[in-house]
Amino acid sequence: MSATKLLVLGIVHLSGGAHGYQVRSELQSWGAESWAKIKPGSIYHALKKAAADGLLTEHAEPGNSGPERVLYRATARGRDEMVELVRDGLRRTHDPDMLNASIAMLPMLTRTDAIAQVNERVARLEAELVEQAKWREHPNRDAPEHVRDQAELWAGHARTELEWAKSLSKRLSEGAYTMADDPGSWRTVPGHLKMHS
Amino acid sequence: MSATKLLVLGIVHLSGGAHGYQVRSELQSWGAESWAKIKPGSIYHALKKAAADGLLTEHAEPGNSGPERVLYRATARGRDEMVELVRDGLRRTHDPDMLNASIAMLPMLTRTDAIAQVNERVARLEAELVEQAKWREHPNRDAPEHVRDQAELWAGHARTELEWAKSLSKRLSEGAYTMADDPGSWRTVPGHLKMHS
DNA sequence: GTTGAGCTAGTCAAGTTTGACTACTTGGCC
DNA sequence: GGCCAAGTAGTCAAACTTGACTAGCTCAAC
């Protein structure tokens, strides 16, 4: 899943440099263990992988108090990649983890960009609902009855998401949240995450 | 994910013995690539793993026409484990893949058992909605505003699932589907899946 | 003054998933 | 009578995730 990648890159970027445990704590305080199903082990792996891919840089830090640790910082490529991941996650349906991660990192985008991506999502969801309605009139005879019945549940979820996406788009248009191009954003105030250390 | 395990065990069991490609085709015809995100590679792995765990037996078959292949059959332990997985998947919230797989294998359970598990799910979803409502009145101040806003989406999904689970319970009570203890079930008519070979 | 609980910071092996690849057969078309 | 596309059946390495484990520090209580 690239949701892990997105969240890890995002936290490092937002805090303007962080070590593994800091990323882990921040995600935990956001409740990410539950909605993104991220386990500590994956975070350290994702950090190393991102560093190997040139999206982050590694700086060894001597352990002044406590064990030694590695400081990660985002590179320009890392930031570009992350913005692209957020945009992707907003548009793509059928990937709840990526959606959740993208919402968490929403302020990485400019307001107009975010609105465009969310509207694209709305359009896709509407198209899928039409597709599903068709499928229900001409069901696949190979699938057992109860499997066909699941379609109701998915349609319900799709409708829920559609309403939510529409309301998000509206909130964004009305100026909710501090986006990348707003005063006081992470861009103008780097390291604005209050760390617990 | 144990959704793969459940589906693979289930298909082998339902068809009364199958080889890898057969399982793969059957799942494809059910549309499982999309809702369970199962890729061919995982199916072969799951079959081998289940065989190693004593849930399936392997019978080498000489390739009379086409490449040689391996026939898998469910063991008694395999059937017990699968029924338990279905029951688990029906009860557990926050695991859509397992729910989907469990629904697909719903007729493995007796009618009264299935109803009990679905009702348990209904109870859990209701409890979670209450919990979420509390959380919204006293939000976690560490999480950014847009992260807290996601809660709306989850609550919407939970409500959708709740309604759906209630209606499933009702349909089951009214005698919908052919369950394990009904005449004409997979139990009394083994191998009732029409294979495309 | 030391024991134990909890926080900080991470490693590691084992398990699982993925996507790309192999290889053989069948049937249709020219 | 040959060639290509599609179907059948599966392997494999690389990537990723998971859960259990290590290990030092701090602080409070006994």
Which of B30, B100, B142 has its CB closest to that of A143? B30
Helices (H), B32-75: 32-35, 40-52
Structure confidence at residue A31 (pLDDT): 83
Q: Please, what is the average pLDDT of chain B?
A: 88
Burial class of residue B49 (count of CB atoms within 10 Å of its CB; 0-12, 13-18, 19+):
middle
pLDDT at A63 over 70: no
DSSP letters, A56-97, are: EEEEEE--SSSS-EEEEEE-HHHHHHHHHHHHHHHH-SS-HH
Question: How does residue B196 score in pLDDT terms, banded at 50, 70 and 90?
Answer: very low
**How many angstroms separate the CA atoms of A190 and B144, rounded?**
15
At B181, is the secondary structure helix, strand, or coil?
A: coil
A21 touches strand C (CB under 7 A): yes
Residue A149: the pLDDT is 80
| Short-list A41, A2, A38, A8, CA closest to A23 | A8
Rounded to an integer, the average pLDDT of B29-54 is 90
What was the pLDDT predicted at A159? 96
Q: Distance between CA atoms of B22 and A74, rounded to whole angstroms? A: 47
Q: Which one of A142, A152, A159 would you mutate to disrupt binding with B, by most B Cβ within 10 Å of its Cβ?
A: A142
Q: What is the pLDDT of residue A141?
A: 66
Residues A159-166 have a mean pLDDT of 97
Render pLDDT for B118-149 as a digit per residue (tens, 0 to 9): 999 999 999 999 988 888 887 666 677 887 78
> pLDDT of B49-84, one tens digit each?
999 999 999 988 765 554 567 899 999 999 999 999
CA-nearest of A100, A117, A91 to A179 is A117
CA B34 to chain centre: 14
- Distance in Å from D7's C1' to B43's CA comes to 18
pLDDT tens digits for B157-193?
Answer: 999 999 999 999 999 999 999 999 988 777 666 555 5
pLDDT value at residue A110: 96
Q: Which of A54-68, A157-171, B104-118 has the lowest mean pLDDT?
A: A54-68
The answer to whether strand C lies under 7 Å from the CB of residue A22 is yes
D7 C1' to B184 CA distance, Å? 33
